[in-house]
Structure 1
């Protein structure tokens, strides 16, 4: 579990959903959270008086919320800060390999493509550590959720996502489901029909890879209940179905550099675009602290 947890809060329904999810995670794991509220400077360009008024009002609102939390969730909130500037830049600056940053989403109305570059998606792309994106509907669905689901594919970042998910499930006293989705090679070529023996060999290889992932999770977390699911299905649709009732979905993403940094990855971006559950995006820089082993995993 990350050593530090930051929650982006501004009083909106989405930020309240993110906060509620973070508080449940804090309660079950014994961890603490810090609240960061950002006044968007771009809304007040050229109007310093309005910016000052908004900042003062937001300071009061944040103080009131923190005081309420100290009464309702004693010890859960250990820090708070109000910042003024660009929300993406300021929240990205809070990301670290050992820090989980949690953000919410707005109510989605209209085509999903409109939300392709939401704050959550952009933050997950630019972050230097794990980012959790919580759907605004989570506040109503939380009671029916349990278990941690992780998508794996045999890659290094997939293995790191597995360890992150396994540690979260262990700390939260929940079960872990390891999901590997695959599609038949050349299945998108209408004139090519792979023979049954080839498809069977491919499925066997995927099953062996999945079994290896499960074995690794059980060796590192012997008290953790681990199950596996092998799906011949596209990862986005497969993981959405498997995580529909989960308290957390964990996916890995190869975060690139330069102009390619705007790419989150087709699968992770697709899942963030159409959230089925609170989703944590893990990059190769993520560090996973294992209290049981007393070690830090990840680069």
Structure 2
């Protein structure tokens, strides 16, 4: 059986945007969609007053029923299943990720602090999931491009492979961004700096070469901005339908689940963000 696209729903607005994105993704990939609404461990209908317990039951089932109805109306041929498991949301979704093609979540669910753009559940799932994770905050349309960050790390290579697949699937051009900075003052341009720029472009071309051969239908635009990766990628996200990054790059400590670039982009990306790690 084809691995499903798993989407977590909780009745929030961002959860709905994640659901819409996940349903479209499942339709493109012709794979099932699995809708998950997690019941917290402390949620016990039996210990509540009967009337309040019934209201809680109705609300929880209503979240899933509404999500299912929205998807079935928009994608009547899509195979949709749902579940209401009990547990901590992050643990449940990480378990789902073991058998998922992709896990899709809203950037922040219900109950989060208003000033935070990324919720704790999404952060934990992104940091530890076995599958790709897509975090949906804004859902732009019409840009018609996929953006991927590249730095030569193993996580970046996995991100490139995922991004090429997405671009091919969607018939969209792929913008490969390799951001780097001159070690000296920008006002001073030397032959050594020119040589370094050529080396960086050659490295990017080498990373892209095998995937260009595998996906000859994908138009690739190479971008080598002379600025920090977070700034370059956050700016590029404003003109993209999907941003793809590795969970961490070359500069991070190996014990870290997320690198600084992916961590910051979870806060500042202006489009859905796919965070990828190499499959074990």
Check if 1:248 corresponds to 2:246.
Answer: no
1:245 and 1:17, CA in 2 relative to 1: closer, same or farther beyond 3 A? same
Shift of 1:100: 0.6
Shift of 1:97: 7.4
Which stretch has the larger CA shift, 9-18 or 88-97? 88-97
Instruction: List per-residue Cα deviations over 1:48-72 (Å, max 9, x = no partner).
Output: 3268542443124412431443233
Which stretch has the larger CA shift, 12-21 or 51-60? 51-60
Question: Mapping of 1:26-37 within 5 angstroms?
Answer: 26-37=26-37
Q: Distance in 1 between matches of 2:45 and 2:76?
A: 41
Q: Distance in 1 between matches of 2:9 and 2:176?
A: 31
Q: Which has the higher strand share?
A: 1
Which stretch has the larger CA shift, 124-133 or 70-79? 70-79
Q: Distance in 2 between matches of 1:85 and 1:57?
A: 17
Question: Mapping of 1:86-165 within 5 angstroms?
Answer: 86-96=88-98, 99-106=101-108, 114-115=116-117, 118-135=120-137, 137-138=138-139, 141=140, 143-165=141-163
Q: Distance in 1 between matches of 2:34 and 2:208?
A: 33
Q: Distance in 1 between matches of 2:66 and 2:158?
A: 38
1:218 and 1:185, CA in 2 relative to 1: closer, same or farther beyond 3 A? same
Gaps of 5+ in 1: 188-192, 286-298
Contact 1:36 1:81 in 2 (8 A): yes
Question: Mapping of 1:216-235 within 5 angstroms?
Answer: 216-235=210-229
Contact 1:126 1:261 in 2 (8 A): no
Partner of 1:169: 167
Shift of 1:250: 0.6
SS in 2 for 1:202: helix
Q: Distance in 1 between matches of 2:12 and 2:178?
A: 35
Q: Distance in 2 between matches of 1:239 and 1:205?
A: 21
SS in 2 for 1:144: coil
SS in 2 for 1:83: coil
Which stretch has the larger CA shift, 5-14 or 77-86? 77-86
Shift of 1:25: 2.3
Contact 2:7 2:19 in 1 (8 A): yes
1:55 and 1:83, CA in 2 relative to 1: closer, same or farther beyond 3 A? farther
Which stretch has the larger CA shift, 20-29 or 229-238? 20-29
Q: Distance in 2 between matches of 1:82 and 1:117?
A: 20
Q: Distance in 2 between matches of 1:249 and 1:236?
A: 12
Partner of 1:190: none
Question: Mapping of 1:168-187 within 5 angstroms?
Answer: 168-185=166-183
Shift of 1:208: 0.2
Q: Distance in 2 between matches of 1:55 and 1:89?
A: 22
Contact 1:151 1:251 in 2 (8 A): yes
Check if 1:207 corresponds to 2:206.
Answer: no
Contact 1:235 1:267 in 2 (8 A): yes
Gaps of 5+ in 2: none
1:83 and 1:186, CA in 2 relative to 1: closer, same or farther beyond 3 A? farther
1:195 and 1:71, CA in 2 relative to 1: closer, same or farther beyond 3 A? closer
Count of residues in correspondence between the two structures: 271
Check if 1:9 corresponds to 2:15.
Answer: no
Shift of 1:277: 1.0
